[in-house]
Amino acid sequence: MKRFPEPESPIVVKDAFPFEQLPAEIRNNVYRDLLIIKFPMMLVHDRPSFPDLDVPSFTLYPAILCTNKKIHNEAAAILYSENTFYVHVDTPVETFLDPYWQQANWSEMVLKPSIGLHAGFIKRVVMCSKDKGEIRDYMEIEARLLAIGIELCELLLWAIKFSDEETMEMNAMVNQGWLKKVEATELKKHHTWFPNTNELGDWTKGIWLMKREGAKSTAA
């Protein structure tokens, strides 16, 4: 995901609407209308084959971030803290650290998002694992997220979807101290979630493993 623009200098418009004089609550609602979308956004482009959820009916309007520094900071906090982001988990941790990852016949894909200090605003991340039989423990996930500037223990939502039931059950048993099973339909009630499309299939239904509230280690 490319970094959203930062303001170079304030935009001066004669007789402009005094937006900054509005109550903070109203300004925040405007930011939400412009910058919150109804499905998770791709955080790291680690796999060209992974579905890019490009749904035309939901569009971001990041131009407001260029207005001035104050509005940029207010709007960026909403953009990153209230949207949900998703990423694959099957590639090695080191590929998260490289600026590019290449595979035969695939074009370069930017891996690490240049979001700078805004990474700390992110509070909701979901992942997908298609590798059968792989165990994903707390330390691995923590390292992957730290590589892109996100602290697992600070997330309000972290959940993972496995492609087969056997792998999901294995991970549920090994990670029962910090993960719990939850239906996708339940997640959809409380968080922005994936649209019902044939491309996504089981993403919109079935069991996910979600981080327990307050979990900070495998012993939590």
Q: What is the pLDDT of residues 55-68, one digit of tens each?
A: 545 677 888 988 99
Dihedral of the CA atoms 34, 40, 43, 45 (nearest 10)?
-120
Query: Which DSSP string do the residues of 12-76 spell out, in sequence order?
Result: P-TT---GGGS-HHHHHHHHHHHH--SSPEE-----TTS-----TTS---GGGGGS-HHHHHHHH
- 80-to-8, 22, 25, 206, 219 alpha-carbon distances in Å: 20, 22, 17, 27, 29
Average pLDDT over residues 90-95: 58
Q: What is the pLDDT of residues 8-41, one digit of tens each?
A: 555 555 667 789 999 999 999 999 999 998 888 8
pTM: 0.76
Q: What is the pLDDT of residues 158-217, one digit of tens each?
A: 999 998 899 999 999 999 999 999 998 898 888 888 777 655 556 777 899 999 987 766
d(CA 67, CA 56): 25
